[in-house]
Amino acid sequence: MRLKCEYLADKSSCQPYSIAPCGHHAGQTYYGPCPNSEYPTPACKKECQSGYSNSWSADKHYGKTAYAVGKTVAAIQQACHNR
């Protein structure tokens, strides 16, 4: 599938996402079907792909804070409105 190949060959980041997208919902045929079981967790690579301009350590980003958001639509909307 062309889309999967383009997605996994992306050179615009340190490490492209290694798990191909799949259609979780009915009608998402553009991604193809999801596997019957979970994907294995990819190994952590502490290096960027060849040809990427930054080093692995220079490309990491950290969040200043973390916060919880309730799982209801109203809670998510409120969190988006407040940020």
Q: Residue 16 is part of which domain span? A: 1-60
Per-residue model confidence as pLDDT tens digits over 41-75: 888 889 998 888 899 999 988 888 888 999 999 99
**75 domain-assigned:** no
**70 domain-assigned:** no
**18 domain-assigned:** yes
**What is the reported pTM?**
0.51
Residue that is written with structure tokens 């209801």 in the block: 72
Per-residue model confidence as pLDDT tens digits over 9-34: 567 788 888 887 888 777 777 788 88
**56 domain-assigned:** yes
**66 domain-assigned:** no
Question: How many domains, in total, are found in the chain?
Answer: 1
Positive or negative, the CA dihedral 28, 31, 14, 37 is: positive
Looking at residue 9, what is its pLDDT? Answer: 58
**82 domain-assigned:** no
Looking at residue 7, what is its pLDDT? Answer: 47
**26 domain-assigned:** yes
CB 11 within 8 A of CB 53: no
